[in-house]
C-alpha cells in the first residue's frame, strides 16, 4: 500500500508499541523469547496466506471443489486440513469479469486468520476501513495502484466476528495448463483481500 506520511508514522508507532509490550512480557516472565519465535513461525509457515493460496489454486483447477468452496468455504477448507480460530464461518467471494469484491471490517479488524494469517497493519487502520467503503475505486487506484474498469461493479463486504469474508481472485491469463502447485505462488494476500490482482505468471 502506498501509505501517506501519517499512516507510515502510525505503523511505526504500532510496531514500536508491540516491541515494547513483547519486551515487557518477556522481562516479567509472562512469556519467553522462544514462545514469541514459535508464534511468529506458526503465522509465517503454518497459518497464513500461503494456505489461502493453496485453496484458491485448487479451486482454479478443480471445478467441483470450487463449487463446494463457494457453497461452504469453511467446510471446503476443512477438506484440506485448513481451519480453526477466526475461520469458523468463512465466505468466499468470486471475482469475475463484471464483479470485483473487496473485504473490510469497519468495526475493528475481523479477518479469516486460517487462510490469510494475521491482518496487515493497513487493514486495521481507520483510514482504510472508512475510505474503502466510501470510495473503493479511488482507494484501489490511489493506494494500491490497482485500477478497476468503470464497467466492473465493485462490492465491499463488511466482515464481523461471526462471519469472515475473503476473495477468490480471477485466474491470471496465460496460466492454462498450469497445475495447482504452479498456480499457488500467483495468489497473493492482497488479491484475497481484493485490493490487488493475482500475480501474472513469469514469462
Q: Per the annotation, where are the binding residues for Fe(3+)?
A: 105, 108-110
Q: 7, 74, 77, 105: which one is catalytic?
A: 105
- Of 7, 74, 77, 110, the active-site residue reads 110
| Residue in this structure with the C-alpha cell 515494547, named with its chain if needed | 20
d(CA 105, CA 187): 22
Dig out the grid coordinates for 151 from the structure.
464497467
Which parts are annotated binding residues? 105, 108-110
In the chain the beta strands, taken as DSSP E runs, fall at: 90-94, 99-104, 153-158, 164-168
User: Is 77 designated active site?
Assistant: no
Please tell me which residue in 108, 130, 160, 161 is annotated as part of the active site.
108
Cell numbers for 28 = 516479567
What's the length of the chain? Answer: 203
* Angle at CA of residue 153, ends 88 and 60, nearest 5°: 50
Q: Catalytic positions, please?
A: 105, 108-110
Amino acid at each position: 500500500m502506498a501509505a501517506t506520511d501519517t499512516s507510515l508514522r502510525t505503523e511505526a508507532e504500532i510496531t514500536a508499541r508491540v516491541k515494547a509490550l513483547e519486551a515487557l512480557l518477556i522481562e516479567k516472565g509472562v512469556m519467553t523469547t522462544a514462545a514469541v519465535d514459535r508464534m511468529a513461525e506458526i503465522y509465517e509457515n503454518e497459518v497464513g496466506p500461503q494456505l489461502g493460496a493453496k485453496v484458491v489454486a485448487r479451486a482454479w483447477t478443480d471445478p467441483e471443489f470450487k463449487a463446494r468452496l463457494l457453497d461452504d468455504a469453511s467446510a471446503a477448507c476443512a477438506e484440506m486440513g485448513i481451519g480453526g480460530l477466526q475461520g469458523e464461518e468463512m465466505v468466499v467471494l468470486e471475482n469475475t469479469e463484471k464483479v470485483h469484491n473487496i473485504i473490510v471490517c469497519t468495526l475493528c479488524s475481523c479477518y479469516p486468520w486460517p487462510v490469510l494469517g494475521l491482518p496487515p497493519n493497513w487493514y486495521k487502520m481507520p483510514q482504510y476501513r472508512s475510505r474503502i467503503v466510501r470510495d473503493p475505486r479511488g482507494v484501489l487506484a490511489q493506494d494500491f495502484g490497482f485500477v478497476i474498469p468503470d464497467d466492473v461493479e465493485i462490492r465491499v463486504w463488511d466482515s464481523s466476528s461471526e462471519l469472515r469474508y475473503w476473495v477468490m481472485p480471477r485466474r491470471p491469463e496465460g496460466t492454462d495448463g498450469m497445475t495447482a502447485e504452479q498456480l499457488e505462488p500467483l495468489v497473493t494476500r492482497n488479491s484475497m483481500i481484493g485490493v490487488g490482482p493475482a500475480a501474472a505468471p513469469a514469462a
